[in-house]
Structure 1
Amino acid sequence: MQNLGIRIRLGAAFGAMWSLMAIGIAVALPRLDDAADARRVLIALAAAALCVAVGAVWGLARSIEAPLSEAVHIAETVAAGDLSQEFNTERGGEFGRLLGGLGEMEDMLTDLVTRIRTATDSITDASHQIAAGNTDLSQRTEEQAAALQQTASSMDELTAMVQQNTERARAANGMAASASGIAARGGEVVGNVVQTMSAISASSRKVTDIIEVIEGIAFRTNILALNAAVEAARAGEQGRGFAVVAGEVRTLAQRSAAAAREIKQLIDDSVRQVDSGSALVGQAGATMEEIVQAVASVTGLLGDITAASEQQSAGIAQVNEAVAQMDTVTQQNAALVEQAATASQALAGQATELQQVVGEFRL
């Protein structure tokens, strides 16, 4: 509509100019006497037409300049980043549409920049939080990796110690088995000694019985020698030799009785000592049996300990392998966390740059 009005006014101005020139020529030419007057008239008409054309163009320029100035002002304001202005126009036609479109563009840019600024602020805060969290997580992951490395080293040492204990348990089990065999043989020897002491005790009792018989014989021999001496005294000179023999027999009988008593005393002492020794040997035999049983129990326990140590060694080997795998995974996680931290820092930097760019707009 605006362009149509401009075209109409231009057409009217030029039509009026040509009409004025035609009228002037039609009026002036019949009255002119020579060509010089006609030329002057034509020049005057041309000047008048030119003035009319200049006036029309000036009016047209004035009608275009104002809306163009408004459009340039809107464009310069938006280009300067100032979106806080409100642009309203009541003009019609093409310039009205142009100014209305620029205002709508400014409104859309304002809404878009507002949303971008809000999103950028959220992204900036989130990226900073993510970067801080990743940094903290990276530090904790590194600490966990160091702890796992120490744990792996400790597990290696523990594995070596358990293997040593297993070998020592096997050696102790072998020694206990050997000791059990030795104790069993010692028990058999003690049993034989007990039987031998019992036989010696029985023989000593038999010797005691024989000594008692000898004492009885010596006592009766002494009585007989005493009776023979009495009978020899009655016989007088004839029985003197017999009396001497009877005296010697009596002396031998007394000496035999004394020797028998001494032997009996010695045998009794020997029997008591043999009995005491038999009792001690019996106690030793019982003790050896207990030792054998204890050694057998220790052997069984050492066997259980050996089996448990072997199982423990296998379990610790599995744990060591698991710790090694955890260490590898933790190292990989640490690398991933560092990459994520780097990416988060880069994102935070880009978000900050975007925030600075958006901050150049004034809403």
Structure 2
Amino acid sequence: MTQSTLTAPRQVDESSAKLKARIAELEAQLDATNDWIQRVADVCESAARGNLETRLLRVDAGGELKRMIHSINGMLDYTDAFVREAGAALDGAAQGKFHRRVMLRGMVGSFRQASETINKSTRAMQRNDEAIHQAEQARLSIANEFESTVKQISTAVATAAEEVHSIGGELAETANSTAAQADAAQAAANNTSESVSQIAQSTALLTSSGGQIEEQVRQSSEVVNRAVSDAERASEIVAELEASSKNINSVVEVISDVAKQTQLIGINASVEAARAGEVGRGFAIVAAEVRNLADKTRGATDSVKQEISRVQKSASDVAEAITRCGATIAEINKLSEAISRLVHQQTEATNEMNEHALKAADQTKKVDQNTSLTSQAAGQTREATDGLMRASSELMDHSSNLASDVERLLKTIRNPKQAH
């Protein structure tokens, strides 16, 4: 056997041993790699379930595997830091604490961009919160101002309504007194008419004449003229009373219209308030309209006072005129008695006196008609007064309802969450 033939088997054995050793080395490396891959998979699965605190420790691998493991640990570090910082900032914002920011130090790439976005959003939320707080303060300030204004108006309207109600009571008393005086005047006029008729009958019996009868006739004529003048004056006074009563009716209608408009304004105020929301626009318009109606109410009340004064003066004048008429007629009665004793002496004087007596009777009938009109006017005044008192009562009720509605509205404005 040659030397080369003996050497070949040994070389084969050496190569085989080296190959086995290399295979064993590669198998060991493969097992180590598989082990690290398993550990990496476990950490990634744990991170996927939300546990970002797990890390790959005691790294003994080399090459690209080592770089991969450190990269995974770094990614987990960035992710955990971002989640912690973002969670703290958002939790503070949820509690109204907007000073907490995401720390940008160490943040890179998408983590830094997301952190900057969160910080920007937090600053925007802080500005919005400050704006909401300012709006809340402004809303409460408007509510307080509106409450003060409406309460002043409501108080003024209620006071005016009470004054109107009081004036209505006084007017009712005046109307009753006027009606009583008118009834008395009508009774006196009836008595006067009967007396004048008796005078006319008595003058038919006069037959005498002479200077004395002429003087008596002249005096009778003057007395009758005064009676006619007084009756005409009474008619004028009654006309004034009737005109005053009509004016009172007009004033009452104005007050009634104001009361109705006040009710409509209360409704409009409620609707406007509901629409106003936080800002509360329109409240100033409603308040100005209510103030205007209150001014009209006071103007109408002043007119009522003036008309009451006129009615009282007219009633007093009627009583005075009727008194003078009664005194004049009394004088006619005295003169008629003297004329009756002389009537046989002067037929012509008797006829003339009879003519004057007929005229006096006609004027007395007119006085009776005028007093009847006065009674009717007094009745109308009573009806108007009743309407005035009803209107003032309704106005007070509306004022009270307005105050209640405003109170509910202010509660809604100041506590909108409780209202819902």
TM-score, normalised with respect to structure 2: 0.47
Within 2, Cα distance between the matches of 1:180 and 1:157?
34
Contact persistence 1:87–1:103 (CA under 8 A): yes
Within 1, Cα distance between the matches of 2:28 and 2:390?
113
Partner of residue 141, structure 1: 157
Within 2, Cα distance between the matches of 1:32 and 1:97?
49
Q: Does 1:128 align with 2:149?
A: no
Higher Cα Rg, which structure = 1
Partner of residue 216, structure 2: 284
Partner of residue 377, structure 2: 312
Alpha-carbon deviations, 1:271-306, whole Å to 9, x = none? xxxxxxx53x44333222322333344445362751
Alpha-carbon deviations, 1:69-111, whole Å to 9, x = none? 3312321221231235676859554434432332332233233
Partner of residue 160, structure 1: 176
Partner of residue 259, structure 2: none
Partner of residue 210, structure 1: none
Q: 2:142 is aligned with what amino acid?
A: A
SS state at 1:113 partner = helix
Partner of residue 120, structure 2: 104
Within 2, Cα distance between the matches of 1:177 and 1:89?
117
SS state at 1:181 partner = helix
How do 1:1-363 residues align onto structure 2 when only pairs under 5 Å count? Answer: 30-31=20-21, 51=59, 52=66, 55-84=70-99, 93-185=109-201, 192-193=207-208, 195=209, 198=210, 278-279=211-212, 281-300=213-232, 301=234, 303=367, 305-306=370-371, 309-310=374-375, 312-313=377-378, 315-317=380-382, 319-350=384-415
Give the superposition deviation at 1:38: 9.3
Structure 1 vs Structure 2 CA RMSD: 3.9
Contact persistence 1:145–1:327 (CA under 8 A): yes
Give the superposition deviation at 1:152: 3.0
Give the superposition deviation at 1:350: 0.9
Partner of residue 21, structure 1: none
Name whichever structure is richer in helix by fraction.
1
From the superposition, tell whether residues 188 and 135 of structure 1 become closer, same or farther in structure 2 (CA, over 3 Å).
same
Q: 1:31 is aligned with what amino acid?
A: A
Within 1, Cα distance between the matches of 2:34 and 2:98?
51
SS state at 2:97 partner = coil
Contact persistence 1:131–1:344 (CA under 8 A): no
Q: 1:83 is aligned with what amino acid?
A: F
Give the superposition deviation at 1:338: 2.3
Contact persistence 1:152–1:320 (CA under 8 A): yes
Contact persistence 2:176–2:382 (CA under 8 A): no
Q: 1:71 is aligned with what amino acid?
A: A
Within 2, Cα distance between the matches of 1:106 and 1:124?
27
Q: 1:67 is aligned with what amino acid?
A: F
Within 2, Cα distance between the matches of 1:353 and 1:29?
86
Partner of residue 340, structure 2: none
Contact persistence 1:128–1:348 (CA under 8 A): no
Within 1, Cα distance between the matches of 2:414 and 2:224?
82
Give the superposition deviation at 1:67: 2.2
From the superposition, tell whether residues 313 and 155 of structure 1 become closer, same or farther in structure 2 (CA, over 3 Å).
same
Q: 2:391 is aligned with what amino acid?
A: M
From the superposition, tell whether residues 294 and 181 of structure 1 become closer, same or farther in structure 2 (CA, over 3 Å).
farther
Structure 2 residue runs of 5 or longer lacking an equivalent are 1-16, 40-58, 60-65, 235-321, 323-366
Q: 1:130 is aligned with what amino acid?
A: F
Within 2, Cα distance between the matches of 1:349 and 1:68?
39
Partner of residue 251, structure 2: none
From the superposition, tell whether residues 29 and 328 of structure 1 become closer, same or farther in structure 2 (CA, over 3 Å).
farther
Within 2, Cα distance between the matches of 1:81 and 1:141?
46
Contact persistence 2:185–2:371 (CA under 8 A): yes
Q: 1:171 is aligned with what amino acid?
A: A
From the superposition, tell whether residues 59 and 296 of structure 1 become closer, same or farther in structure 2 (CA, over 3 Å).
closer
Q: 2:85 is aligned with what amino acid?
A: E
Q: Aligned residues: percent identity?
A: 11
Give the superposition deviation at 1:169: 2.0
From the superposition, tell whether residues 326 and 28 of structure 1 become closer, same or farther in structure 2 (CA, over 3 Å).
farther
Q: 1:175 is aligned with what amino acid?
A: N
From the superposition, tell whether residues 182 and 47 of structure 1 become closer, same or farther in structure 2 (CA, over 3 Å).
same
Contact persistence 2:158–2:399 (CA under 8 A): yes
Contact persistence 1:176–1:299 (CA under 8 A): no
Alpha-carbon deviations, 1:200-251, whole Å to 9, x = none? xxxxxxxxxxxxxxxxxxxxxxxxxxxxxxxxxxxxxxxxxxxxxxxxxxxx
Give the superposition deviation at 1:47: 6.5
Deviates more, 1:83-92 or 1:130-139: 83-92
Within 2, Cα distance between the matches of 1:161 and 1:343?
46
Contact persistence 2:182–2:374 (CA under 8 A): yes
Give the superposition deviation at 1:315: 4.6
Contact persistence 1:187–1:289 (CA under 8 A): no
Contact persistence 1:77–1:83 (CA under 8 A): yes
Q: Figure out how many residues of one structure are paired with residues of the other and give that number.
A: 242
Q: 1:62 is aligned with what amino acid?
A: D
Within 1, Cα distance between the matches of 2:417 and 2:143?
10
Contact persistence 2:186–2:372 (CA under 8 A): no
